Chains A and B, each alone.
Chain A
Amino acid sequence: MDSALTNLAYLAASVLFILGIKGLTHPRTAVRGNLYGATGMLLAIIATLASREVFGAGVQGIGVILAGVVIGGGIGATLALKIQMTAMPQMVALLNGFGGGASVFVAGAVFLDATDPTTRMTVSTVVSGIIGSVTFFGSLVAFDKLQGLVLPGKPIHFAGQQFVSLLIGLGALGVGVMIVTDPTATNLYWVVVALASIAGVLLTIPVGGADMPVAIALLNSYSGLAAASTGFVLDNNALIITGSLVGASGLILTRIMCKAMNRSVTNVLTGAIGPKAEAGASADEVYGGRVKSASPEEVAMLFDMARRVVIVPGYGLAVSQAQHSVRDLANLLESQGTEVEFAIHPVAGRMPGHMNVLLAEANIPYDKLREMDEINPTFAQTDVAIVIGANDVVNPVANTDPSSPIAGMPILEVDKARTVVVIKRSLNPGFAGIPNPLFAADNTLMFFGDGKKAVLDLISAIKEA
Chain B
Amino acid sequence: MDALIPLLTIFMLAVFVGFEIITKVPPLLHTPLMSGSNAISGITIIGAMVAAASSSTLTTALGFSALVLAAINVVGGFLVTHRMLEMFRKKD
Contact = CB atoms under 8 A, between A and B. Distances in A.
Interface of A: 10, 13, 17-18, 20-22, 24-28, 30-31, 33-35, 37-38, 40-41, 44-45, 47-49, 51, 53-54, 57-58, 61-62, 64-65, 67-69, 71-73, 75-77, 79-81, 83, 85, 88, 91-92, 95-96, 98-99, 101-106, 108-110, 112-113, 118, 120, 216-217, 220, 223-224, 227-228, 230-250, 252-253, 256, 344, 346, 349, 351-354, 356-357, 360-361, 363, 365-366, 369, 371
Contacts of B54: 57, 61, 109, 113
Nearest to B56: A113
Interface of B: 2-4, 7, 10-11, 14-15, 17-19, 21-56, 58-60, 62-91
Contacts of A253: 30, 33-34
Contact of A22 (B21, B32, B83, B89): B21
12 contacts: A22-B21, A22-B24, A41-B43, A76-B77, A91-B35, A102-B69, A103-B44, A109-B66, A110-B47, A351-B30, A353-B33, A357-B87
Contact of A110 (B24, B51, B64): B51
A130 to B, nearest CB: 16
Contacts of B60: 61, 64
A215 B17 CA distance: 24
A22 B23 CA distance: 10
Given A64-B60, A102-B66, A352 B52 contact: no
Residue among B38, B47, B86 facing the most chain A CB atoms (10 A cut-off): B47
A34 B63 contact: no
B63 to A, nearest CB: 5
Contact of B73 (A40, A98, A344): A98
Contacts of A237: 7, 10
Contact of A37 (B36, B56, B63): B36
Contacts of A26: 26
Contacts of A243: 41, 43
A68 B46 CA distance: 12
B78 A61 contact: no
Given A34-B78, A48-B46, 19 more contacts: A10-B46, A21-B22, A21-B36, A38-B39, A48-B49, A49-B49, A58-B53, A71-B71, A73-B72, A92-B31, A102-B45, A102-B66, A105-B65, A105-B66, A112-B58, A246-B18, A246-B40, A252-B23, A253-B33
